[in-house]
Amino acid sequence: MQKRIGSLPFTGTPEQEAQLREAIARHKDEKGALMPVLQEAQEIYGYLPIEVQQIISQDMGIPMEEIFGVATFYSQFALTPKGQYKISVCLGTACYVKGSGKIFDRLSQKLGIGADDCTPDGKFSLEACRCIGACGLAPVITINDEVYGKLQPEDVDTILAKYME
Amino acid sequence: MDMVNIKINGMPMSVPKNYTILQAAREAGIDIPTLCYLREINEIGACRICVVEVKGARSLVASCVYPVNEGMEVFTNTPKVQKSRRLTLELILSNHKRRCLSCERNQNCELQQLCYDLGVEDESYFDGDNPETAIDASCAHLVRDNSKCVLCRRCVAACAEQGIGVIGTNARGFDSHIGCAFEMPLANTSCVSCGQCIVACPTGALTEKDQTDEVWEALSDPEKTVVVQAAPSIRATLGEAFGMPIGTNVEGKMAAALRRLGFDKVFDTDFAADLTIMEEANELVERIKEGGTLPMITSCSPGWVNYCELYYPELLPHLSSCKSPQQMFGAIAKTWYAKREGIDPKNMVVVSIMPCTAKKFEVGRADQSAAGVPDVDIALTTRELARMIKKAKINFANLPDEAFDSPLGEATGAGVIFGATGGVMEAALRTAAEWITGDPGAPVEFKEVRGTAGIKEAAYQVGDLNIKVAAASGLKNAAELLEKIKRGEADYQFIEVMCCPGGCVNGGGQPIQPAVVRNNVDLRALRAKALYDEDAGLALRKSHDNPAIQKVYEDFLGKPGSHVAHEVLHTSYQEQKGYK
């Protein structure tokens, strides 16, 4: 599946930009510097929006398209922001058989966003992931580092409510 | 040179150690089929069409990148090899939009040719998911239809070779596709419209934006006077579209064909090239005498002008303010000529035949409307002209040689050589040398600036001036000179820059030669030779000796650099913005 490109406004801070430029300066003269720079950029911003890729392009002298090509080739790079609460729904075999698809749909409907998307307030992001190795708890979702297992679609409402305040 | 002994299909031979199997096989008289391979610019071994068997190797190897070694035994055409190539083609066809009959590249498509040559029997054997991909027609010059793309990356390599790099491969696996950063339309990027991607494309995925219908329309409109101009390089390449040998000069047949298409007047951009020299040589002499911005850089090549505006806006004062020959032609046609003939410029359609896709952008530039209407209305590529000639069923090969119409068809050898890298420089030097020394016997040939090298430098003693010049073709080479200017290390007075490697003869609008030709024949040199040969045989070889040019100055412009000349023949440049 092709990656979604985020449409939420960019909210990077001057501190983040300074961090990014420092990371670029540190890697710039290495061979194959683009990968570690993109990894650090994603750590700093949580994703790689056009504004960030532009800074990398200018500072490293690499065309934007080349950077975008790398960012869309590797699944570790995201083009959409992660929310304050990052929800991952396991769609691995065991969870899927146990109905995680319905959990995903419920979350999607409740939050009003699709896969690889983030709510406009920046609170929740939603993504599907492959097996996280907790098949005994299928179907499983994670919210940041919390794991929720053996879910029914209705459970989604109470779980979300905890994070809503 | 170190040699190694190898066997190809059992035949022993000795080849240089640094050869690939592909190169060695060619010496043995075998052209191993290729698809993604373009010599020196795209050697990535990706498409697997060129696979061969090597004795002892675990699997088939890609001959375009596999080096030869001592004792190697290669088999280029075993059943295993044939089967593999066929399978690869069938897989490529599985999601290729097979609308060959309506495709612009029908009969000039490398994929089609491979399928025929390698005997693909069932083109829908693996028929699979065929996503309708979006068509990018955002630019004035090009259309990209990814549903005909075979992902060879030749366009990507051609773009990178120009130092631009606005297209590349996005996503991966089945989703891989050629696109721009953040999937933005090409028009939002810093694409310079050179069209080198189009001539690199093996299929119909990249094509120029066809405007032949607009021309047919104009030709059938009784209200309109339709005049046509053909750029210097077209005569050296148009014949290729009709199966003639590369480097055949078809000037006379081209004029005859244009007349048979119904153009009211058949003129020559060479005339405007001579005019450009008058203005440009004058501007150069003025800048040298009056301490203007030096080095002065030519502005004939619209891809180059786009590049300067997008990538080096701080160097725009170096650009000559002269319009390009295409635009000068239109400007003179719609002012002086229209008045002379009693034609309302609004009812005149100027069509130009250009080697260039960026010319399609150039006609829409600001500050290019000497008569209050655009100087040029429609810019066609050489390929579009060939298409029109074929559609009209004109028997091109058997046409008589005819002359251009007067007066805007009169030209000198200086105009002719504009089509090759170094040609504008040489033409300008011919005139500048005579003007500075006042000696009609001043030299005509400046051979140091000829040839296909990316950057050429020369110094000439002209009267008491020592003029140092450089000519660059291909934007990567241009960038090298521009960086030198920025560092203050460029002591040239005059630089010629052509966007496309080799100049207009290798422009993005020229007939498309398949990779096997591009890889093994020096297209640029062969086509340029046709122009230099024509120049050498002409009586008039200096722009200022052109009687039609003298007449235009006498009647209308006054002298080079006059107020009227500035109004009509000069323009200005602005920084352009685009994602890089």
Domains assigned to chain B: 3-77 (3.10.20.740), 92-208 (3.30.70.20), 213-569 (3.40.50.1780)
Task: Look at B182 and A69 and tell me if their CB atoms are within 8 Å.
Answer: no
| Residues of chain A positioned with their CB less than 8 A from the CB of B180 | 64-65, 68
B335 DSSP 8-state letter:
I
B359/B355 Cα distance (integer angstroms): 8
User: What's the sign of the alpha-carbon dihedral B88, B90, B96, B100?
Assistant: positive
Map out the domains of chain A as residue ranges. Answer: 14-73, 85-164
DSSP B93-143: HHTS---GGG-TTTTS-HHHHHHHHTT---TTTT------PPEE--SSSEE
Q: Residue B173: closest CA among chain A residues belongs to which residue?
A: A73
When scoring A38, A52, A65, A75 by the number of chain B Cβ atoms within 10 A, the one with the most, hence best to mutate, is A65
Task: Look at B182 and A5 and tell me if their CB atoms are within 8 Å.
Answer: yes
B336 DSSP 8-state letter:
I
Nearest to B165 among A54, A65, A73 (CB): A65
SS in 3 state form for B484-514? HHHCCCCCCCEEEEECCCCCHHHCCCCCCCC
B491/A160 Cα distance (integer angstroms): 70
Helices (H) and strands (E) in chain A, counts: 7, 5
What is the pLDDT at residue B134? Answer: 85
- State how far the alpha carbon of B379 is from the alpha carbons of B214, B218, B230, B363, in Å: 10, 13, 10, 7
Q: How far is B175 from chain A (nearest CA, A)?
A: 6
| Residues of chain B positioned with their CB less than 8 A from the CB of A5 | 182-183
B568/B552 Cα distance (integer angstroms): 12
Nearest to A66 among B165, B171, B175 (CB): B165
Q: Are A141 and A91 in contact (CB under 8 A)?
A: no
Sequence-distant (6+) residues with CB within 8 A of B29 are none
What is the pLDDT at residue B463? Answer: 84
| Residues of chain B positioned with their CB less than 8 A from the CB of A50 | 181-182
Q: How far is B578 from chain A (nearest CA, A)?
A: 11
Task: Look at B168 and A3 and tell me if their CB atoms are within 8 Å.
Answer: no
Region for residue B221 given its phi and psi (left: phi exceeds 0; alpha: psi -120 to 50; beta: otherwise): beta
| Residues of chain B positioned with their CB less than 8 A from the CB of A2 | 171, 175
What is the pLDDT at residue A1? Answer: 65
Task: Look at B579 and A3 and tell me if their CB atoms are within 8 Å.
Answer: no
Q: CA dihedral defined by B177, B180, B186, B187, rounded to 10 degrees?
A: 160
Task: Look at A65 and B171 and tell me if their CB atoms are within 8 Å.
Answer: no
Q: How far is A130 from chain B (nearest CA, A)?
A: 18
What is the pLDDT at residue B128? Answer: 86
| Residues of chain A positioned with their CB less than 8 A from the CB of B169 | 69, 73
B227/A50 Cα distance (integer angstroms): 47
Task: Look at B164 and A63 and tell me if their CB atoms are within 8 Å.
Answer: yes
**Which parts of chain B sit beneath pLDDT 50?**
none
Task: With H, G, I as helix, E, B as strand and everything else as coil, classify residue B390.
Answer: helix
Q: What is the pLDDT of residues B100-112, one digit of tens each?
A: 999 999 999 999 9
Q: What is the pLDDT of residues B79-123, one digit of tens each?
A: 999 999 999 999 999 999 999 999 999 999 999 999 999 999 888
Dihedrals phi, psi of A160, to nearest 5 degrees: -60, -40
B61 DSSP 8-state letter:
E
Nearest to A66 among B168, B179, B189 (CB): B168
| Residues of chain B positioned with their CB less than 8 A from the CB of A53 | 181-182
Task: Look at A68 and B175 and tell me if their CB atoms are within 8 Å.
Answer: no
CATH topology of domain A85-164: Glutaredoxin (3.40.30)
Amino acid at B418: F
Residue recorded with tokens 């794991």:
A147
Nearest to A65 among B167, B172, B175 (CB): B167
Q: Are B361 and B139 in contact (CB under 8 A)?
A: yes
Amino acid at B452: T
Task: Look at A63 and B169 and tell me if their CB atoms are within 8 Å.
Answer: no
Residues of A near B (Cβ–Cβ under 8 Å) read 1-3, 5, 50, 53-54, 57, 63-69, 72-73
User: Strand pairing of B177-179 and B135-136?
Assistant: unpaired
| Residues of chain B positioned with their CB less than 8 A from the CB of A66 | 165, 168
Joined tokens for residue B211: 């405007």
Q: Residue A55: closest CA among chain B residues belongs to which residue?
A: B580
Alpha helices per DSSP H over A61-120: 64-73, 93-97, 100-111
What is the pLDDT at residue A4? Answer: 85
Q: Are B442 and B411 in contact (CB under 8 A)?
A: no
What is the pLDDT at residue B132? Answer: 78
| Residues of chain A positioned with their CB less than 8 A from the CB of B160 | 63
Chain A, chain B: beta-carbon pairs less than 8 Å apart: 52
The secondary structure element, H or E, covering residue B457 is: strand B455-462
* Beta strand extents in chain A (DSSP E only): 85-90, 117-118, 124-129, 141-143, 146-148
When scoring B153, B191, B580 by the number of chain A Cβ atoms within 10 A, the one with the most, hence best to mutate, is B580
Q: How far is B165 from chain A (nearest CA, A)?
A: 6
Q: How far is A72 from chain B (nearest CA, A)?
A: 5
Read off the pLDDT band of A8 (50, 70, 90).
confident
pTM of the model: 0.94
Q: Are B35 and B91 in contact (CB under 8 A)?
A: no
What is the pLDDT at residue A56? Answer: 98
- Which among B27, B38, B2 is positioned nearest to B17, based on CA atoms? B2
- State how far the alpha carbon of A12 is from the alpha carbons of A19, A47, B533, in Å: 11, 11, 61
Residue recorded with tokens 């005019």:
B275
The secondary structure element, H or E, covering residue A135 is: none
Composition of chain B by helix, strand, coil, percent to 5: 40, 15, 40
When scoring B133, B164, B172 by the number of chain A Cβ atoms within 10 A, the one with the most, hence best to mutate, is B172
